[in-house]
Amino acid sequence: MPIIVNLDVMMAKRKMSLNELSEKVGLTLSNLSILKTGKAKAIRFSTLETICKVLKCQPADILEYVDEQEN
């Protein structure tokens, strides 16, 4: 998939666990885990905004586009 989710990288940089992020964002552990592992098919802008507020980052810190044809 050409969209890479780097949520785990940002969580590590902020020294935040999945449980802690789940509580602060208001998402279930399972939904946050689906996003973290890159298995999510979509994300609401409101959810992305809340994650960015909690992690003090930009959307580009979490989501990355990789052109599969370049590899």
Q: What domains are there in the chain, each with its CATH number?
A: 3-66 (1.10.260.40)
Give the burial string for 1-39 (b: 16+ CB within 10 Å, else e).
Answer: eeeebbbeebbeeeeeeeeebbeebebeeeebebbbeee
pLDDT digits (tens, 9 = 90+) for 35-68: 999 999 999 999 999 999 999 999 999 999 998 8
pLDDT digits (tens, 9 = 90+) for 6-41: 999 999 999 999 999 999 999 999 999 999 999 999
- How far, in whole angstroms, is CA 71 from its chain's centroid? 24
pTM recorded for the entire structure: 0.88
